[in-house]
């Protein structure tokens, strides 16, 4: 008992190092499972992300917190390792080795996909909310924002003065979207032609959820990550800009 307590102290004090070890072992196990059980058909990183989400669920149930497994004190380093700081750092690093002309060639499709992606998400989200009985423009726009990303939802909702219940719903919708994109992208990729820089850029602009796009592309083909991440990073900003203004006025004029 005493020994376990001492161990716990070490793991907690060096939580980021603990995170490297835990995530490393998780990734190793995932690639092992991928080879043994699926003969590489289900990519190792897809399995690792699934295990990550599962761990997040277990952590959330066990602690009642909001940061998944990172709410367990010993594993708080996972929150740092997977937080915005290191995530963005690693995403930018993936751009190393990318050639400039590949971006230039796809520039316009990237912008089109961003505009279409943001507006379509609001429309789909608002339609679903409408079919569930929401009728006021504020709630419809907020839930629509959640269907864009889990940041656009609450930003739009608080700008428009939505109820906290609706804001929570919009966050949940965004989280579902992000998780689904992470998990399903490798399976859908070949049907939507997601196998080149151009379609990855468009994919990033349409999906918009940076975590979902990053995870989904990593599990599909890591060389596509910088292209998708590039457009996705503009999506949330664009959504926060259009949501409380243009989209809200459009929806208000319709209901």
Partner 1 sequence: MTIYGTALLSICLLFGLSVGRILGAVIGVDANVGGVGIAMLLLILVCDRLQQSGRMQPPTTQGIAYWSSIYIPVVVAMAASQNVVAAIKGGPVAIVAGVMVVIVSFAMVPIISRLGQSDAPPPNSHTLPTKDES
Q: Is residue 40 classed exposed, middle or buried when 0-12, 13-18 and 19+ CB atoms within 10 A define those classes?
A: exposed
C-alpha 48/C-alpha 34 separation (Å) is: 9
Question: Residue 243's Cα: distance from chain center in Å?
Answer: 19
d(CA 230, CA 251): 29
* Residue 199 to residue 225: CA distance in whole angstroms: 11
Both tokens of residue 242? 């259009």
| Cβ distance to partner 1 smaller for residue 2 or 155 | 155
| Degrees, nearest 5: CA angle 18-63-31 | 45
User: By three-state DSSP, how is residue 206 classified?
Assistant: helix
Task: Give min distance, CB of 189 to partner 1, in A.
Answer: 9
Q: How far is the CB of 16 from partner 1 (least distance, A)?
A: 10
Whole-number Cα distances in Å, 155 to 49, 58, 145: 27, 28, 8
* Residue nearer to partner 1 on the CB measure, 2 or 99: 99
Closer to partner 1 by Cβ: residue 33 or 98:
98
Nearer to partner 1, 33 or 237 (CB): 237
CB of 253 to partner 1, least distance (A): 22
Q: Output the smallest distance, CB 132 to partner 1, in A.
A: 5
User: Closest CB to partner 1 among 148 and 251?
Assistant: 148
Quote the least distance from Cβ 237 to partner 1, whole Å. Answer: 3
């Amino acid at each position: 008992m005493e020994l376990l307590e001492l161990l716990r102290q070490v793991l907690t004090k060096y939580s980021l190092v603990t995170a490297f070890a835990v995530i490393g072992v998780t990734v190793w196990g995932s690639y092992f499972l991928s080879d043994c059980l699926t003969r590489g058909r289900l990519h190792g990183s897809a399995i690792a992300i699934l295990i990550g989400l599962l761990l997040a669920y277990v952590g959330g149930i066990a602690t009642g917190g909001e940061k998944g497994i990172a709410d367990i004190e010993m594993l708080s380093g996972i929150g740092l390792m997977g937080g915005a700081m290191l995530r963005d750092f690693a995403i930018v690093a993936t751009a190393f080795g990318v050639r400039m002309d590949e971006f230039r060639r796809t520039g316009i499709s990237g912008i089109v996909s961003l505009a279409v992606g943001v507006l379509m998400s609001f429309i789909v989200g608002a339609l679903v909310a409408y079919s569930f009985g929401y009728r006021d423009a504020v709630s419809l726009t907020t839930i629509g924002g959640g269907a864009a990303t889990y940041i656009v939802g609450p930003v739009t909702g608080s700008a428009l003065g939505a109820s906290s219940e609706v804001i929570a719903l919009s966050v949940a919708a965004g989280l579902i979207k992000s998780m689904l994109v992470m998990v399903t992208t490798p399976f859908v990729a070949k049907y939507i032609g997601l196998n080149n820089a151009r379609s990855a850029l468009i994919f990033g602009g349409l999906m918009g959820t940076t975590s979902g796009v990053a995870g989904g592309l990593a599990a599909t083909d890591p060389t596509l990550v910088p292209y998708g991440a590039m457009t996705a990073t503009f999506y949330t900003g664009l959504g926060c800009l259009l949501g409380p203004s243009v989209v809200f006025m459009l929806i208000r004029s319709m209901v």
